[in-house]
């Protein structure tokens, strides 16, 4: 089954150059000799620039903002011949836009003194559909890795402080010699259909009227197919039969791999678990088209750039019969 369109954060062909991650001397040389190749990340928000907020704000390694760096530079890979790095500057304390930082919807920007006016630390969700495929991959990788380092400063075995290594793709404990690697959490997200209708759910923290496909974490010892069936049954009481894999999307909020699946419902009655969802409903193809066209004042479509939006668009266009 061929799905049409580009999936945000999808594979752009970035050369991650894993073969040189452990070569500290070479990485330091690349860092210092390559101009405008380091991306500053502040509390998970990348530095973005441009009139339309559609370009990473690459800086030189010795820019003043990096005096606030937390940890070592993270090597992202080789981008069309340019070595790219990211550095977490979360020790900086801005004077603006702090009220919504960390919220599901964060419209604020933080501006570092001395930078051009069009440079600002911006929530990735708000600009992800404006980015090129390559920039989206670089920014999602930067966000996921910087968050992993912030949350894993100490060894999970002995509790001693660990240090970054392998260009930021590993943390080492000097006490017990344990190595830790970046974590990615598998999440199933399912387009469950019953005839001409699709199952949509709504979580409590979401903006008013927003609905999306059901999703949930894959549990230890569980297959993707079993996870789809379990999550759907637990959240809304619907039994799912056949499950087909469709596509996947890295989702750095904070570090998930969204596994897109198609599920065929064997029942339609809803028994919503109110601890998990605020609401759920079956929506017909015709009504979903109205929602995507902005003709339903009560229901908003899944966020553009998300795998949910991507799957629904393909379903609406008849590519998922």
Mark whether 209 and 165 lie in a shared domain: no
pLDDT in tens, 22-48: 999 999 999 999 999 999 999 999 999
**Does the pLDDT at position 180 exceed 90?**
yes
**Does the pLDDT at position 2 exceed 80?**
no
Mark whether 49 and 28 lie in a shared domain: yes
Mark whether 125 and 192 lie in a shared domain: no
Tell me the pLDDT band of 260, cut-offs 50, 70 and 90.
very high
Mark whether 139 and 234 lie in a shared domain: no
pLDDT in tens, 53-82: 999 999 999 999 999 999 999 999 999 999
Mark whether 142 and 75 lie in a shared domain: yes
CA distances from 244 to 34, 133, 232, 234, 251 (A): 45, 26, 15, 19, 20
Mark whether 131 and 174 lie in a shared domain: no
Distance of alpha carbon 151 from the chain centroid: 16
Domain ends where: 132, 151, 170? 151
Tell me the pLDDT band of 1, cut-offs 50, 70 and 90.
low
Question: 41 lies in a domain?
Answer: yes
Question: 13 lies in a domain?
Answer: no
Mark whether 61 and 171 lie in a shared domain: no
Question: 128 lies in a domain?
Answer: yes
Take residue 51 and report the two structure tokens written for it.
């009139």
* Domain boundaries, position 263: 185-316
Count of domains in the chain?
3
Question: 52 lies in a domain?
Answer: yes
Q: What is the pTM of this model?
A: 0.94
**Which spans in the chain are helix H?**
24-33, 124-127, 133-151, 224-236, 285-292, 307-316
Phi and psi, residue 134, nearest 5°: -65, -45
Mark whether 37 and 147 lie in a shared domain: yes
pLDDT in tens, 137-168: 999 999 999 999 999 999 999 999 999 999 99
Question: 225 lies in a domain?
Answer: yes
Distance of alpha carbon 75 from the chain centroid: 19
Average pLDDT, the chain: 95
């Amino acid at each position: 089954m061929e799905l049409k369109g580009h999936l945000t954060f999808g594979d752009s062909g970035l050369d991650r150059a894993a073969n040189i991650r452990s070569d500290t001397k070479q990485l330091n040389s690349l860092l210092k000799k390559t101009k405008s190749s380091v991306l500053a990340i502040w509390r998970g928000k990348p530095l973005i620039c441009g009139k339309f907020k559609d370009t990473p704000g690459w800086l030189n390694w010795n820019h003043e903002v990096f005096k606030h760096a937390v940890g070592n530079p993270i090597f992202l890979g080789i981008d069309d011949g340019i070595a790219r790095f990211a550095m977490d500057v979360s020790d900086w304390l801005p004077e603006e836009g702090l009220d919504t930082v960390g919220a599901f919807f964060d419209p604020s920007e933080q501006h570092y003194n001395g930078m051009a006016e069009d440079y600002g630390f911006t929530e990735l969700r708000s600009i992800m559909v404006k980015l090129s495929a390559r920039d989206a991959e670089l920014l999602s990788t930067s966000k996921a890795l910087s968050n992993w380092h912030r949350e894993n400063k100490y060894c999970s075995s002995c509790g001693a402080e660990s240090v970054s290594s392998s260009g930021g793709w590993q943390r080492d404990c000097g006490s017990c010699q344990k190595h830790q690697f970046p974590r990615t959490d598998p999440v199933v997200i399912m387009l469950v259909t019953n005839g001409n209708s699709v199952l949509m759910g709504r979580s409590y923290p979401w903006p008013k009227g927003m609905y999306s496909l059901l999703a949930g974490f894959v549990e230890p010892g569980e297959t993707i197919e079993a996870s789809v069936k379990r999550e759907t049954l637990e959240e809304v009481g619907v039994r799912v039969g056949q499950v087909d894999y469709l596509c996947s999307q890295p989702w750095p909020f904070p570090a998930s791999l969204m596994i897109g699946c198609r599920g065929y419902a064997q029942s339609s009655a809803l028994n919503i678990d109110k601890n998990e969802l605020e609401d759920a409903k079956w929506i017909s193809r015709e009504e979903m088209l109205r929602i995507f066209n902005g003709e339903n004042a009560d229901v908003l479509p899944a966020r553009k750039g998300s795998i949910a939006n991507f799957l629904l668009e393909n379903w609406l266009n008849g590519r998922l019969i």
